[in-house]
Structure 1
Amino acid sequence: MNLLIPFKFDNHIAHGAFVVIDTGAAEMLDMRAYDPAVRGLVAQTMAAMPLLATHTRFEGRINLQFQGERAIKLLVAQVVQREGAPLTVRAMAKAAPQIDGSYAELLSDGVLALMLEPADDAQPSRQAMVPIDGDSLSESLEGYFAQSEQLPTLVRLAAEGDRIAGFMLQRLPLEHTKATEEVWEHLAILAGTLSTNELLTAEPETLMRRLFANEDWQLYEAQPVNIACRCSREGISLLLLSLGRDEVDKIVAEQGKVEIICEFCGRDYVYSRSDAATLFVAEGSEQSQLKH
């Protein structure tokens, strides 16, 4: 089962979370023929997104997106957070064939950004740049929190086979804590000993006892995480309606149909000539009823 498990220290100096994913990720990753380096990076974004949701604590969607010109052309990871519902995560990448290289080489000549889109339309969306520094996505996210949020943060992400895992430890504002900066630095040193193998193989409670044996902390109720695409025929139909009948008719005239393949899950949505006509007839009927 895929879970996000938050924790907090009793002295309020820091909080964080573990994420463990062992179902659904391989199926989504297998939708595209990724080279190993690209596949590993996409997998790590799947682990990162629930951790980012823990930090923001709002209803809506968080996007982590990269656009470049060389190795990786596009990288998109999303998590949707709704009250009372599991977190839903999806991710994909478009890359040049047969590529390899370090993290910085894969994301060279491009921009990595984090976008927050609240479910409440009255709240503004936010966007911030994520520095492509260091040797990993973990270090980039740590840089984002240090620069944009002014919150020292330690992030670890790991992926091997069908299993993906993540860990985040974040200092809380000192004015709200019963501890000192020295206490935080001690926790960060302890957390820094966490190995990739431990993160992938040990249970979160075991890791907490191992890392913070002499500290007072609490694990909170785990939240389920779904690795799933949110695409649907209804959503695709709305997209076609937004294009307008003239544009859709033009596509049908050229190709004999409208075919849209979801970038995330690879699902193929096909609209025949009659399907497209029915779609706009139905819209016209609804608009007529609204006018009356």
Structure 2
Amino acid sequence: MTDQIQRFLFERSNVRGEIVTLERAYVDVLDRHGYPPSVNRLLGELLAAAALLTDTVKLDGILSIEVRGQGPLSLLMAESNPGGELRAIARLNEDATLPDGGAGFRELVGEGHIVITLDPREGNRYQGIVALDHDTLAGCLEAYFSQSEQLPTQLWLEADGARAGGLLLQRLPDESQNQDDDAWERTVHLARTVKAEELLGLAPQDLLYRLYHEETVRVFEPKPLRFGCTCTRERIGEALLTLGAAELREVLAEQGEIETQCHFCHTCYRFGAAEIDALLGAEDGPPPTLH
């Protein structure tokens, strides 16, 4: 199976869709961590959702989805950028005890909310928040589209620890080109017959044929996806500054250098005293000009 996202639309209607399939990118994320199987499955759903939402909102920038809960899983985060790169992490409460067997979404996250951040290359950063009022991640994200985007949207997400997949259908507000009044109800009804093994095992073209062989579907060129991390030495340095000058100098005095790593990809970064001094000097900025 190829890691990709496939856009499509139904002719003579205002219904469009996306199919995402992930394998290598998903495994690349999991290989960097040691999460329990139930967390791995939810992380796969979130990766698929991040890819679908990025393509759906046509964002030229970074999109992140954060699930913040009060259950055993306190944070789940996935991020997608315009280059088709995906990354994700999870954070378990230190004293958390996961339910036996296949823990579901609500059992893992409990009460909380989802934060969706759109950070375009140009323009203003946008953030939307939706409560965890549904029993599945897909249901919560559908509520986000209903509240924030005001677009009828249906999502199907699956992951099994080795593969992840997702299907999104959306009804666009423009009715001027819609010549099929029943298209939305019909296409959603057919999508509800999709099985987990089909979302995870079929190529997008095969899945489209399985669901919509009696429909006229226009299929666009697929976009490849892969694991990728946007961490840089500069960004890590900026994150260190949030600790404050006193704490940074204390660590330097004890250890001679500061060593940290990216939570997403585990790349290790080391900063010596001279580099920390330069960072702190840049934060202070130049002295004011006297007139």
User: Which deviates further from its counterpart, 137-146 or 230-239?
Assistant: 230-239
Deviates more, 1:123-132 or 1:41-50: 123-132
Does residue 88 in structure 1 map to residue 85 in structure 2?
A: yes
- Partner deviation per Cα, 1:214-233 (whole Å, 9 max, x = no partner): 21111101111121221123
Q: Percent identity?
A: 31
Q: Which stretches in structure 2 are left out of the alignment for 5+ residues? A: none
- 2:68–2:113 contact (8 Å) kept in structure 1: yes
2:23 corresponds to: 22
Contact 1:104 1:133 in 2 (8 A): no
| 2:113 corresponding residue in structure 1 | 111
Amino acid in structure 1 at the alignment position of 2:165: A
Show the counterpart of 2:35: 34
Q: Is the 8 A contact 1:4 1:50 kept in 2?
A: yes
| Range that drifts further, 186-195 or 243-252 | 243-252
Pair 1:110–1:242, CA change in 2 (3 A): closer
Query: What does residue 9 of structure 1 align with?
Result: 10
CA distance in 2 between counterparts of 1:109 and 1:18 reads 29
The 1:235–1:196 alpha-carbon spacing in structure 2 relative to 1, beyond 3 Å, is same
Q: Is the 8 A contact 1:174 1:180 kept in 2?
A: no
Equivalent position amino acid for 2:164 in 1: I
Cα–Cα, structure 1 residues 117 and 280, in superposed 2: closer, same or farther, change >3 Å?
closer
1:64 aligns with 2:61: no
Q: 1:130 aligns to what SS in structure 2?
A: strand
Give secondary structure in 2 for the equivalent of 1:214: coil
Cα distance in 2 between the residues matched to 1:105 and 1:280: 43
Mapped to 2, the partners of 1:136 and 1:18 lie a distance apart of: 19
Please, what TM-score do these two structures have when normalized by structure 2? 0.86
Residues 174 and 181, structure 1, Cα contact 8 Å, conserved in 2: no
- The SS at the match of 2:182 is helix
Kindly state the Cα deviation for residue 245 of structure 1 after the two structures are TM-superposed: 5.8
Deviation at 1:194, TM superposition (A): 0.9
Q: Distance in 2 between the 1:157 and 1:93 partners?
A: 18
SS of 2:8's partner is strand
Shift in Å at residue 242 of structure 1? Answer: 7.2
1-structure distance, mates of 2:186, 2:88: 35
Task: Verify the 8 A CA contact 2:134 2:140 in the aligned structure 1.
Answer: yes
Partner of 2:188: 188
Task: Write out per-residue CA displacement over residues 68-120 of structure 1, whole angstroms, 9 at most, x where no aligned residue.
Answer: 33311122111112xxxx31111111013441332112221322111111111
Q: Take 2:53 and 2:165, find their aligned partners in 1: how far apart are those partners?
A: 14
Per the alignment, in what secondary structure is the counterpart of residue 24 of structure 1? Answer: helix
Corresponding pairs, count: 280
Please, which runs of 5 or more residues in structure 1 have no aligned partner?
none
Name 2:136's counterpart in structure 1: 136
CA contact (8 A) 1:88 1:227 kept: yes
Name the TM-score, length of structure 1 as normaliser.
0.86
8 A Cα contact 1:35 1:98, kept in partner: no
Identify the residue that residue 236 of structure 2 maps to in structure 1: 236
CA contact (8 A) 2:15 2:169 kept: yes
User: How much is the aligned-residue C-alpha RMSD, in angstroms?
Assistant: 2.6
